[in-house]
Structure 1
Amino acid sequence: MKKIITITFLSLFAFIHSQTGVKPPKGFKITYTRSSNGKLLENQDAIFIFTNALETLITSEKMNSGKADFPFEQTLINHSENKIIQVTQLKKEKSVTTVDSLSLAKQNFEFLTESKTILGYKCQKAKTIINSNTIELWYTNDLQVKGAPTTLGQNIGLVLEMVRNGNFIIKATKIEKMKSASPSLILQNSTTNSPILDGLTYKDLVWKSRFTTIKIFENEIINFSDASKSNDSILRFANGTIILKKVTFPEIKKGDLVFLDLIEQSNGDAYDRTGSVFLIPQDKKQSFIDGLQNGVKTLPIYENGNGKQYQGVVSTKEYSSLIELMRFFTPFGIKQYNYIQLKDKNWHEIVPYRAEITDLKTNLSGKTIYIGSFIGNYDKGGHKVSLNITIHPSESNLDKTNVAIPLFNTTNVMEMAGQEYATMFNHEKGLEVTFTIDKEIKNVKLRYISTGHGGWENGDEFVPKRNTIILNGKEVFSFIPWRQDCGGYRLFNPASGNFNDGLSSSDLSRSNWCPGTATNPIYIELGDLKAGKHTIQVKIPQGANEGGSFSSWNVSGILLGE
């Protein structure tokens, strides 16, 4: 029924004309261009409106000529019924429609005495404020039609100029008379028939159609249990604390932006845990997959003289370390423990994490790879996660990275399968990686993530420690990774312990992480690197063991450049 209603509505004028022989009324085609801060926007698709005494269509030059990229939206205003009909062509054979009969009536303007002439027509000024934006409209009644380049101001006259906050302008550059103008017929001829949806559903579908969503995990459990088994799509390792999926990515264009979205809930575990989202490079003879399938001892060993062996943490000539897309930390029992009642505490149901990973897209684009997630825990209920990666068409001039080489990742994601904790910083050598590049790399940066762990009051989780980065024997950067904003995430942490001093465990400052947050990478400039061998060293004054407690540092480093 909805589809029939849509077809009838858009065909109404065509039906009347065919039955009565009455031609569509005379009207106008107006062309608008956009400028910002006094400069015309480059490569813009000019706005067209077709308008007569009954209706107005907002479209564009490319839409009108059939050359617009999908998705594209056109808007029809029925002035007699005060309705807005929005139609988005999602792809060649699929479109969606919504009808709004309220928003035009709700528009309020302050009509001012100022006037000016635009394209030979006397215009008056109207002003309104929308979401703290001041909008000024210059409109004329000389042509006895109504219309505007957006839905704003459709009923005050023919808007020939729109100014937002004094610096963004949409202005009419050409007005053409038409012997007959039927905006609804133009719309019908350029779109396919589509169902009428409610406004929120329509907006959601249109929004999601503007980017590509790759679903990785949906409500998957990460726990610790002998009962955790792989299936046809999700692989599980280390007693269920690692989940893995093979994913195929499309080609990602230069300038496109890539984001990672993760949602986590407790499914039984009450504690704050280290989590990681990673991809497994398979560009060399050996990969992390070998360790997952054949045991952690099959991975390359790093030794620095402290007597311990660290498996799979540094890249070698025949092995690439894990590429960490996101480091995150679960809160104390979100969702599962929301029954704990405290006054003035309304616990959140989920914790969302979102991060841009555009600088790593060369490791994704056009490839079929393994994407995994890890949460260190010993609980059979564990945690529940959902993970998506989205690709957004853009022309970002910040997207300059075309080289992304993994160097090290000390996060022991196979913790529950015997991978050693990252305690190598108790030795003066710390972590040292030697790597070879075949040709010069320009504007090199180290994408570096660092979080300190372990102990209680005197452990490195709660004690600020300086991280020092040394390139080819020369110190290039040092900083103290530290977070003091953890108390701002209290509502994610229903099971966080409360202390006699009025604080909760989740309030306490930590070494670059908080329960319920992701840790952002920092970018350390290394300049241009010539072809040949180079060595990067990471030093941290790791705290000494205290009884059965010890400190460790999870650090990951990826070489980025052009």
Structure 2
Amino acid sequence: MKKYYFLYIIFTVVLSAQAQKNIKALKVTYLRSTNDKIFEKQDPIFLFTSDKVSLVTTENITLNKASFPIEETFIDFELKTISLLAQFKNRSSILNVDTSALAKQKFTITDQTKKILGYNCKKATTSINSNSIELWYTTDLQLKGAPTALGQELGLVLEMVRNGNTKTTASKIEVLKKVPALLNLPTQSPKKVDQLTYKDLLWKSRFVTIPVFEKEIINFVDAPKSNDSILKFANGTVILKKVKFPEIKNGSDIFIDLTEQSNGDAYDRTGTIFLIPTDQSISFLDGLQQGVKSLPIYENGNGKKYQGVVRTENYAPLLELMRFFTPFGVKHFNNLELKNKVWQDSAFYRQEISQLLPALSNKEVWIGANIGNYDQGGHKISLNVTIHPGYSREENNSWLLPIFNTNNVMEMAGQDYATMFNSEKGLEVNFEIPEGLTNVQLSYITTGHGGWGNGDEFVPKKNTILVDEKEVFSFTPWRTDCGSYRLSNPASGNFNNGLSSSDLSRSNWCPGTITNPILIDLGNLSAGKHSMRIKIPQGASEGTSFSSWNVSGILIGKKG
């Protein structure tokens, strides 16, 4: 009896081995985990493989439930190619065929073994972009494949481990009776593109890009010319465009990016990107179109009148999206050579503005840019806003209120510098908090100006914020990293002590940088009317030289 049982076992093993040799295709399901915790609500990876071709896709793609863009990977074992196929929301598609990637993959085969889903697996290792990768593969099933393009020819990869803690592991293996049709590339030929173009188009399809300005000139001329889309004011130093934003989902990330080049101006200048609120009967647009005298006046007892700087019952000041500073003559003055200095082609600025979602979502608004300069060549800028789907971030703010902005955007049309801080009163504004508002904060941008030895540009000064005459925050804005941006400043002056002007520390700005807003918690503000005061010990004037402070403030919070 034992003899017959033994023969039965041998016969079964032979049949099993023979069956494995005759496998035409497999479907392998993979799940991802980190620190041995399986990701919740994940879209499982599917591998379909035959002796000639494998396909890496996902469950949602096969069920037509995937979000665009959709990307699949085809490996042709006979041609030794990796084909990346991407499909976009508009149903167009692109294809990149790489004939060398498989051959470039190098692995170290180790003696380590283990079983996964009952199959004997060997371990291979490699390193990708400083990440250690372990691949556990089996040859028991005769077919090859992997959950990514990596290791496709090792055997059937049943587990991939990155940096020891992130795993992609086979959870199920299914033997298919025939080679599925989806292992063939689509019959409708997608557009073939090179690898860099493929990556670029795929990447850009993952978010929304809203172009605002494209190589627009901001300069000083007697008669600036507007056109159908771009309006120019203040002798050409202010440009304006109406922009339509889509509905932006809560949790989204919003970024603004700006590229600047000198078009003739050699100096570091104050720049700002702003939105014009139009929720009141008077807006900054009235000032641009009718002159600064049409804007409400702020007085604090120092004898001067400041136009359009604080919120009133019928006026909303500019909502600042970005404060930036041009470097000394980048691009236009790159011919000023210094040994071992390779100047940048342009200054690039990129900043998150997600907290300003309520001012943008599903709105058509005026977006403007200003660079204060008196140069006929001026500056050239390009500006985009990008909107990215959120992942795990909390919901965006649902309420905001711009309450002050002292940046004299219309300097070249007569708007005065912000010298009001030479008075004890400084800058004061009244505002109202609605019912049901929580977590009220002030988004505060501040930069000091006065470009001589004793000017506030080069002297640290304490900023104090008071709400209802109680101090809520104080700090001394100062930047000591300006020398980091030397290669953006070809026209910067050089001193006898070995420093460049662009190296010098400044009051919260450097030539070629952004000044980030500071978020200041205002505590438990009750619904109703409140006041805010900004105090800065502004330095005294010397002859025709004077100091000023450009400050802007936006209240943000959540309703409910």
Which band: TM-score by shorter chain?
A: over 0.9
Where do 1:203-222 residues align within 5 Å?
A: 203-222=199-218
In the alignment, which residue of structure 1 is the partner of 2:430? 434
Aligned residue among 297, 301, 314 for 1:305: 301
Give secondary structure in 2 for the equivalent of 1:527.
Answer: coil
Q: Which moved more, 1:306-315 or 1:29-38?
A: 29-38
Deviation at 1:226, TM superposition (A): 1.5
Equivalent residue in structure 2 for 1:521, among 517, 522, 539: 517
Aligned ranges 1:172-211 → 2 under 5 Å? 172-182=170-180, 184-185=182-183, 187-188=185-186, 193-211=189-207
Between the aligned partners of 1:514 and 1:560, the Cα distance in structure 2 is 27
Task: Name the CA distance, whole Å, in 2 between partners of 1:165 and 1:472.
Answer: 53
Partner Cα distance (1:167, 1:433) in 2:
54
Instruction: Output the CA distance in 2 between the equivalents of 1:274 and 1:25.
Output: 70
| Pair 1:275 & 2:271 matched | yes
> What letter corresponds to residue 333 of structure 1 in structure 2?
G
- Taking only aligned residues, the RMSD between alpha carbons, in angstroms, comes to 1.4
Give CA-to-partner distance per residue, 1:328-355, whole Å, 9 cap, x none: 0001111111111111111111010000
Distance 2:342 2:224 in 1: 33
8 A Cα contact 2:325 2:514, kept in partner? yes
Partner of 1:13: none
Verify the 8 A CA contact 1:304 1:424 in the aligned structure 2.
yes
Partner Cα separation in structure 2 for residue 143 and residue 93 of structure 1: 37
Who is 1:159 aligned against?
A: 157
Please show how residues 417-496 of structure 1 align to structure 2 within 5 Å.
417-496=413-492
- Alignment partner of 2:502 out of 484, 500, 506: 506
What's 2:145 paired with?
147
Measure the CA separation in 2 of the matches of 1:28 and 1:316: 70
Q: Secondary structure at the match of 2:288?
A: helix
Cα offset for 1:427? 0.6
> Runs (4+) of structure 1 moved beyond 3 Å?
182-187
Paired with 1:71 and 1:481, the residues of 2 have a C-alpha distance of 44
**Distance (Å, rounded) in 2 between the aligned partners of 1:193 and 1:358:** 39
Aligned to 1:16: none
8 Å CA contact 1:441, 1:528 repeated in 2: no
Could you tell me which residue of structure 2 aligns to residue 285 of structure 1?
281
Query: Which consecutive unaligned segments of at least 5 residues does structure 1 have?
Result: 1-23
Secondary structure of the equivalent of 2:316? coil
- Distance across 1 between alignment mates of 2:125 and 2:537: 61
Give the residue type in structure 1 aligned to 2:158. L
Alignment check: 8 A CA contact 1:245 1:370 kept: yes
Q: What corresponds to 2:93 in structure 1?
A: 95
1:274 and 1:389 mapped to 2: Cα distance?
21
Could you give the per-residue CA deviations for residues 224-273 of structure 1, whole angstroms, max 9, x where no partner exists?
00232110010000000000000000011111111101000000101000
Deviation at residue 217 of structure 1 after TM alignment: 0.3
Aligned counterpart, 1:74: 72
Give the conservation status (yes or no) of the 8 Å contact 1:455–1:546.
Answer: no
Identity, % of aligned positions: 63
8 Å CA contact 2:357, 2:396 repeated in 1: no
1:14 aligns with none
Unmatched segments (≥5 aa) in structure 2: 1-21
Show the counterpart of 1:350.
346
1:329 and 1:518 in contact (8 A); partners too: yes
Q: Would you say the 8 A contact 1:58–1:74 is kept in 2? A: yes
- The answer on whether the counterparts of 2:75 and 2:83 sit within 8 Å (CA) in structure 1 is yes
Structure number with bigger Rg: 2
Equivalent residue number for residue 317 of structure 1: 313
Structure 2 distance, partners of 1:559, 1:37, is: 41
User: Aligned-pair distance for 1:300?
Assistant: 1.2
CA distance in 1, matches of 2:242, 2:447: 28
**Segment of structure 1 superposing worse, 229-238 or 388-397:** 388-397
Instruction: Please state if 1:37 is matched with 2:35.
Output: yes
- C-alpha distance in 2 between matches for 1:351 and 1:184: 47
Aligned residue among 164, 168, 171 for 1:170: 168
SS at the partner of 2:191?
Answer: coil
Partner Cα distance (1:261, 1:111) in 2 = 46
1:560 to partner: Cα distance:
1.3
- Deviations for 1:364-422, whole angstroms, at most 9, x for unmatched residues? 01000000000000001000000000111123424431112111111110111111111
What is the one-letter code of the residue matched to 2:133?
I
Aligned mates of 2:390, 2:401 — CA distance in 1 = 24
Instruction: Give 1:338's aligned residue.
Output: 334
Q: Do structure 1's residue 253 and structure 2's residue 249 form an aligned pair?
A: yes
- State the AA in 2 paired with 1:239: N
Give distance in 2, aligned partners of 1:128 and 1:152: 10
* Alignment equivalent of 1:537, drawn from 530, 533, 536: 533
Rounded to whole Å, the distance in 2 between the matches of 1:411 and 1:113 is: 68
| Aligned partner (choices 270, 278, 294) of residue 290 of structure 2 | 294
Q: 2-side partners of 1:414 and 1:387: how far apart?
A: 20
User: Contact (CA 8 Å) 2:322, 2:351: kept in 1 or not?
Assistant: yes
Shift of 1:213: 0.6
**Residue in structure 2 matched with residue 21 of structure 1 by the alignment:** none
Counterpart code for 1:501: N
CA contact (8 A) 2:23 2:175 kept: no
1:422-476 CA-to-partner distances (Å, cap 9, x unmatched) read 1111111111111012213211211111100014000000000011111122111
Partner residue in 2 for 1:58: 56
CA distance, structure 2, for counterparts of residue 429 and residue 555 of structure 1 = 15
Task: Please tell me the residue identity of whatever aligns with 1:121.
Answer: Y
Give, in angstroms, the shift of residue 151 of structure 1: 0.8
Q: Distance in 2 between matches of 1:183 and 1:108?
A: 31
> What is the aligned counterpart of 1:391 among 381, 387, 394?
387
The one-letter amino acid paired with 2:447 is T
Aligned residues: 537
TM-score normalised by length of structure 1: 0.94
Q: State the partner residue of 1:228.
A: 224
Alpha-carbon separation, structure 1, partners of 2:90 and 2:264: 47
Separation in 2, partners of 1:96, 1:512 = 46
With over 3 angstroms needed to count, the CA separation of the structure-2 counterparts of 1:104 and 1:185, relative to structure 1, is: closer
Change (3 A) 1:400 1:479: same
**Shift, 1:44, TM fit:** 1.3
Match of 2:112 in 1: 114
Deviation at 1:42, TM superposition (A): 2.3
- What is the TM-score when the length of structure 2 is the normalising length? 0.94
Match of residue 128 from structure 1: 126
Residues 304/440 of structure 1: CA separation in 2 closer, same or farther (3 Å cut) = farther
* 1:523 Cα deviation after fit: 0.9
Q: Name the SS for the 1:227 alignment partner.
A: coil
Contact 2:441/2:519, CA 8 A, preserved across alignment: yes
1:379 aligns with 2:371: no
2:252, 2:396 within 8 Å by CA — same for their partners in 1? Answer: no
SS class of match (2:484): helix
